[in-house]
Structure 1
């Protein structure tokens, strides 16, 4: 299994051209949704939402807001990773309500940590909360890139897009959300010559430090 995972990660690349005739099945999209929901986040707070776009007209209109990257229109689906703009005491209390219910944990046991988080976030500026939440979005994208590789779904992660225009166009601001990352997913085109290029990495011996 370990070697299979490495093989799938070798197979993965940032897809430059998608096959427009191939669409992801609902089963594959459900795997993506479930994997997003299971992504690790700081404190388990999940200050994230994922917008899944399959509508072709929407995808085509997003190209001009994504630095003319054609993958957005060609892909089967476009994923927009969004963060919550407000992590309030109510938001945190709702999380602990869910913990209490799911684990049948007495609130008295949870209260010290709940109070700590409420106090901690009440002392953060909006910029600090935005930066913290954005880091969780990167965790989610990293997780989905691996899941896509294991499922042989091609993907192209993108930072090159006009976030504020995305927020307006997709009506995210009104929902208390802001876009952070975009990822096009689908199946690679046979004429995408990048798919056959050898992967270039610094090498394990250069990026891993062992302390024994």
Structure 2
């Protein structure tokens, strides 16, 4: 696998072929990539709503900007990326116990240090709900980038979508009651033949404009 080739091949799909569906095994891989995504102090401040049928796709359309409707109804899957509205003690203890169960701590001291360190950073970034949302969103975009690259690696096209009304989305899916807030959306599938973006060369600034070596 050549990761540079994947990065060159990956692009934002504009039109999907709704007759081509992602295999369930490939979806499972993408969801596992999301689950394994990195986050600050392993806070995992997220939840992912997977839209996998036409009825559910139509349900969320009122929250999606008109120009993005086809990317929802024609793709195989749409994922709504959400953050938790509160990183409460229950969530933090759930993380800690899962880490312990997964064998991350050789002794009680290491477990205590991780718990204290995570509390420090969560408290540091949750002085206000706005600050918490900003911090959590940064972690969520790590997961988004992770899964977009993973999709390209197995030949699946994708579109990251910020053109939607997150308040409407939250209402439609009753996310606030569940303790979540939508931040970004992504669709996955296989591009249609008329997707002009699939045939355009990638355009990026040259390395000398982007990198400084000290």
Give me the TM-score of the superposition, normalised by structure 1.
0.92
Q: Across the two proteins, how many residue pairs are aligned to each other?
A: 209
1:107 aligns with 2:88: no
1:81 aligns with 2:78: no
Q: CA deviation at 1:120?
A: 4.6
Residue 128 of structure 2 corresponds to: 125
Unaligned runs of 5+ residues in structure 1 are none
> Quick one: which of 153, 177, 182 aligns to 1:179?
182
RMSD: 1.6
Tell me if the contact between 1:8 and 1:152 (Cα under 8 Å) persists in the aligned partners: no
Q: How does 1:149-188 map to 2 (within 5 A)?
A: 149-188=152-191
How far, CA to CA, are the matches of 1:8 and 1:117 in structure 2?
A: 34
SS of aligned partner of 1:199:
coil
Q: CA deviation at 1:209?
A: 1.6
Residue 199 of structure 2 corresponds to: 196
List per-residue Cα deviations over 1:130-177 (Å, max 9, x = no partner).
Answer: 111111110000001110110110000011110111111112211111
List per-residue Cα deviations over 1:38-97 (Å, max 9, x = no partner).
Answer: 101100111111111111122133333211112111111001111111101222122111
Unaligned runs of 5+ residues in structure 2 are none
Q: 4-13 vs 171-180, which deviates more? A: 4-13
How far, CA to CA, are the matches of 1:147 and 1:117 in structure 2?
A: 28
> Quick one: which of 7, 19, 33 aligns to 1:9?
7
Tell me if the contact between 2:10 and 2:152 (Cα under 8 Å) persists in the aligned partners: yes
SS of aligned partner of 1:178:
strand
Give me the TM-score of the superposition, normalised by structure 2.
0.91
> Quick one: which of 15, 33, 36 aligns to 2:34?
36
Tell me if the contact between 1:12 and 1:154 (Cα under 8 Å) persists in the aligned partners: yes
How far, CA to CA, are the matches of 2:101 and 2:59 in structure 1?
A: 42
